[in-house]
Amino acid sequence: MKTPGQNRLFQRKHAGTLVVYGALVLCLIAGVLYYRATVLLTPRTARQDAGAAFLDGTIYVFGGQAMVEDGGWLDDALAFDPTERSVRWVGALPWLAPRWSACACAGAEAIYLFSGSDSAERRDEIVRFDPATGETVVVGRLPSGRALGGVASASGKVYYIGGLDADGYLDEVIEFDPAAGSVRTLMSLDSPVYEPAVVADGGMIYVIGGRDDEGSYSDRILEIDVDAAAIRRTGALPSAVSGAAATVLHGTIYVFGGWRRAWLDEIVAIDTSGDELSGDIVGRLDEAVADPVAVTIGDRIVVIGGTPPSSHRELALRELDPTTMAWVDLRFRGSIRP
């Protein structure tokens, strides 16, 4: 028979064991919840050289090169909802092979995808993607298969500028009319350009930076009046850059990152209201990156992807408040299985 002291000692030991087991169970539950939140519900979306556009409250990302060991090219279309912070698979692209470096541009009711490269060649298709149905249709073709150009929409038409094809570097401004389904060469620039940032504002197209046919980096800003088929003004960036992203917010063009023998973290603002075009460095990215995509959402800008990626699991989407230059990393959950 145990004495009262022995009983108290046994009770204390038993209570201590229960506390240990309880703590282990809580740790196990926390681990399961963490794994569910960060792995099971956070799909592997990391990629580089993808096309992206914003339409009707959703960011759409197309193709690219997967950031996994084999680095395979992708043919999917993903929809990121920045309000719900959700991501879903919305379709596959009607290409003979997966694609990287395709350019995407939002129209009034659809997104148009231009060119890009697969594992064998540069492509010439112009693809219409309908976000409402997920359907993709080839609606036109560029004069030749090409890649590394830039695209923007103005005056109800979409313009593909520069790039390179099998014969060399290009100076063409190609106009695609979605209503008529027609493609034509609108004009030629004064010199070839590839890897430029291209953006539209107020009926004008702006071609920013890039590289020329000798591989030299450019600091030029070209303002193209598409109605007159002419270069209206020129200007200069603070320094030369290629592979940057550009978007417009409240009349100011913002240029992000790029490449100049190294990844860049500069944010350049271009004021188009004056007599001359010029850019000033107004901030820094939280990480140097080349070949991202930038879209405007209300009073914010979201910078999408780029090289090198900050995560090997998730595609980087960073939201910028231009008034404070404060960054927020956007995290998305959902399923990207067809």
Burial class (CB in 10 A: 0-12, 13-18, 19+), 164: buried
- Which tokens hold the place of 290? 């080349």
**Rounded to two decimals, what is the model's pTM?**
0.84
Same domain membership, residue 198 and residue 325: yes
- Contact (CB, 8 A) for 286 and 303: no
Q: Are residues 330 and 268 in the same domain?
A: yes
The Cα–Cα gap between 276 and 278 comes to: 6
* Contact assessment for residue 239 and residue 177, using Cβ atoms and an 8 Å cutoff: no
Its domain, for residue 16, covers 1-40
Question: Are 163 and 302 members of one domain?
Answer: yes
Number of domains in the chain: 2
**Same structural domain, 28 and 71:** no
* Per-residue pLDDT tens listing for the chain (338 residues): 545 554 554 455 555 565 555 556 565 554 444 444 444 445 667 777 888 999 999 999 988 877 665 567 778 889 999 999 999 988 877 654 445 567 889 988 899 998 777 666 788 889 999 998 888 889 999 999 998 999 999 999 999 999 999 999 999 999 999 999 999 999 999 999 999 999 999 889 999 999 999 999 999 999 999 999 999 999 999 999 999 999 999 999 999 999 999 999 999 999 988 888 889 999 999 889 999 999 999 999 999 988 765 555 678 889 999 888 888 889 888 877 76
Is the same domain home to 25 and 117? no
Selection from 331, 316, 315, 333 nearest residue 66 by Cα: 315
Question: Is residue 28 domain-shared with residue 90, that is, in the same domain?
Answer: no
CA dihedral 247, 250, 253, 258 (to 10 degrees): -50
The CATH number of residue 276's host domain is: 2.120.10.80
Is 163 within 8 Å of 211 (Cβ atoms)?
A: no
